[in-house]
Amino acid sequence: MTETLLFDAALIALILGVTVWTLAVRDTIAAVIGFVVWGLLIAFAWVRLAAVDIALTEVAIGSGVTGMLLLRAGAQARKFDAPVKPVNRTTSIIAGALCGVVFVVLAAVVLLATGPGPTLAPQVAESLPLTGLGNPVTAVLLAYRAFDTLLEKVVLMLALLGVWSVAADRAWGRPPELWTASRRDGVLRFFAQVLAPVGIVFAIYTFWAGADVPGGAFQASAVLAAIWLIVVMAGLARLPATGSPALRLSLVAGAAIFLVVGIAGVHIAGAFLAYPPDFAKALIIAIEAGMVWSVAATLALLVAGPPQAGERR
Amino acid sequence: MSTAALFGLCSAALIALGLYGLMTHPHPLRKILASNLLSSGVFLFFGVIANRGAGNGFAGDPVPHAMVITGIVVAFSATALAVALVLRLYEVSGTADLGVETPRPDKEAAPR
């Protein structure tokens, strides 16, 4: 018992240390790398809290894909390295005091809470057999709170629309530009060739296994998105034009399949987004498959940024 | 002290540190980074609460777990949008300072 507490305390010390370093370090790129390391440590915290599904999502999206996005942003921002005016001392002191109060209140909530918390676990356990799934988190995402997950697809699409809409007018419909390796025989190219098939198989496994054990559509999409970006950066493929109909169809396919199944549920099972018990698992897998495809494309394009006009530098 | 309580304190500290970074860092990209630390702290806090709802053979309440997964993806979307806006601001105004005057719209057509 004490050993595990010792491990937890060491992990927390490490997390807080990296947090402070990430916030305090001068260089933005160094801060982003600190953030990626931090995400991996937080994933350990999630494993300690017995939330392996979240740990996988945090590693793949919170740390991996977000880290990649921020690295690109940091590198691009270097070109505009004008000094920014730091906030004055009084502001920092007031902010520090406010944050101290926030910490004390939240710590009190954690320490003073007694007894078992409110829980929906019994309801989930009761209706889990109806979905044919074994992983309660996937069941919550795709069955009990399917509406949330559907709207989340829409949020992802809206975010991508927002990113695209900051492009210059003449760049609209063109492909985004990603940093690519200049050497044709480089290590990255070899790495991408070896990694891509393994990664694709791993993503399909994560998606398939997610029905019964930790894993699922989001984690699989993040892996696929990362593979796609690595292949593009190695110079083995190009990003499609943002105006291409095939790409746009890919982006909306996930939400569209979800909606079609949802509306069909009104007639077959009596409610929007309800599944007939006999086909529940098959339908959930179908929705998830569409989702993996669309979410992977959306994540990768969110990292790649707005379309570029082409004749840059 | 239990594992959950330790991580609860950790998440409280993360929320406070992230908030402090968000308020005091002048650089917009660093603000985005700090807000990511803040949001992960909030997720962890939620996870600690989910841990108290363990039962029926589950190690934690699966409903908040699913909501955190949704939250991580939405936080990423928000980050991507914020990054796009900041980079566009750089391109148009040539500065990272959020305090400067907004450039005139006629500069927008030719960023370089």
Residues A209-260: tens digit of each pLDDT: 888 888 788 889 999 999 999 898 888 888 888 888 999 999 999 889 888 8
Is the CB of residue B42 less than 8 Å from the CB of residue B13? no
Q: Do B48 and A110 touch (CB under 8 A)?
A: yes
Rounded to two decimals, the ipTM of the complex is 0.88
Q: Which residues of B touch A137 (CB under 8 A)?
A: 62, 65-66, 69
Is the CB of residue A64 less than 8 Å from the CB of residue A37? no
Q: Do B26 and A86 touch (CB under 8 A)?
A: yes
Residues B32-82: tens digit of each pLDDT: 999 999 999 999 999 888 887 777 677 778 888 888 999 999 999 999 999
Flag whether B108 is in a domain: no
Q: Which residues of A touch B56 (CB under 8 A)?
A: 121-122, 124-125
Looking at residue B64, which CATH number applies to its domain? Answer: 1.10.287.3510
Phi, psi of A137 (to 5 degrees): -70, -45
| Structural domain count of chain B | 1
Q: Do B76 and A61 touch (CB under 8 A)?
A: yes
CA distances from A18 to A23, A214, B16, B23, B94 (A): 9, 27, 15, 19, 31
Flag whether B79 is in a domain: yes
Q: Are residues A236 and A293 both part of a single domain?
A: yes
| Structural domain count of chain A | 2
Q: For testing the chain A interface, which of B72, B90, B101 should be mutated: the one with the most A CBs within 10 Å?
A: B72
Residues 52-111 of chain B with CB under 8 A from chain A are 52-63, 65-70, 72-81, 83-88, 90-91, 94-99, 109, 111
Flag whether B7 is in a domain: yes
pLDDT of residue A202: 92
Q: For testing the chain B interface, which of A66, A219, A284, A295 should be mutated: the one with the most B CBs within 10 Å?
A: A66
8-state DSSP, A133: -
Last residue of a domain, one of A118, A138, A154: A118
Q: Are residues A4 and A138 both part of a single domain?
A: no
Q: For testing the chain A interface, which of B35, B63, B90, B98 should be mutated: the one with the most A CBs within 10 Å?
A: B63
Judged by a CB distance cut-off of 8 A, whether residue B42 touches chain A is no
Burial track A237-276 (b if 16+ CB lie within 10 A, e otherwise): eebeebeeeeeeebbbbbbebbbebbebbeeebeeebbbe
pLDDT of residue A35: 93
* B26 Cα distance to chain centroid: 16
Distance between CA atoms of A311 and B14, rounded to whole angstroms?
43
Q: Are residues A218 and A75 both part of a single domain?
A: no
Flag whether B84 is in a domain: yes
* DSSP result, B45-90: HHHHHHHHT-BTTBSS-HHHHHHHHHHHHHHHHHHHHHHHHHHHHH
Q: Which residues contact A97 (CB under 8 A, 6 or more apart)?
A: none
Three-state DSSP class for residue A307: strand
Alpha-carbon gap: A31 to the closest alpha carbon of chain B (Å): 8
The residue segments making up the domain with residue B29 are 3-93
Flag whether B31 is in a domain: yes
The residue segments making up the domain with residue A74 are 1-118
Residues A18-64: tens digit of each pLDDT: 999 999 888 888 999 999 999 999 999 999 888 888 998 899 888 88
Last residue of a domain, one of A97, A118, A139: A118
8-state DSSP, A176: B
Q: Are residues A195 and A305 both part of a single domain?
A: yes
Residue A187 tokens, joined:
């290590």
CA distances from A307 to A17, A130, A160, A250, B8 (A): 38, 45, 11, 17, 42
Q: Are residues A108 and A218 both part of a single domain?
A: no
Flag whether B9 is in a domain: yes
Q: Are residues A152 and A267 both part of a single domain?
A: yes
Count contacts between A and B (CB, < 8 Å): 290
Q: Do A111 and B5 touch (CB under 8 A)?
A: yes
Q: Are residues A200 and A261 both part of a single domain?
A: yes
pLDDT of residue A239: 87
Q: Are residues A250 and A214 both part of a single domain?
A: yes
Q: Are residues A112 and A194 both part of a single domain?
A: no
Q: Do B9 and A119 touch (CB under 8 A)?
A: no
Cα atoms in the 13 Å half-sphere on the side-chain side of A54: 33
Last residue of a domain, one of A118, A153, A170: A118
Residue ranges of alpha helices (H) inside A49-88 are: 52-57, 66-77
Is the CB of residue B10 less than 8 Å from the CB of residue B37? no
Q: Are residues A181 and A258 both part of a single domain?
A: yes
Q: Which residues of A touch B18 (CB under 8 A)?
A: 19
Q: Do B9 and A110 touch (CB under 8 A)?
A: yes
Q: Are residues A188 and A280 both part of a single domain?
A: yes
CA distances from A186 to A72, A99, A177, A195, A297 (A): 20, 47, 20, 14, 26
Q: Are residues A136 and A2 both part of a single domain?
A: no
Residue A26 tokens, joined:
């001068």
Residues A182-221: tens digit of each pLDDT: 676 688 888 888 999 999 999 999 888 888 888 788 889 9
B58 beta partners:
B55
Identity at A116, one-letter amino acid code = P
Flag whether B110 is in a domain: no
Q: How confident is the model at residue B10 (pLDDT cuts 50, 70, 90)?
A: very high
Burial track A172-203 (b if 16+ CB lie within 10 A, e otherwise): eebbbbbeebeeeeeebbeebeebbeebeeeb
Distance between CA atoms of B94 and B87, rounded to whole angstroms?
10
**A65 to chain B: closest CA residue:** B76
Is the CB of residue A162 less than 8 Å from the CB of residue A189? no
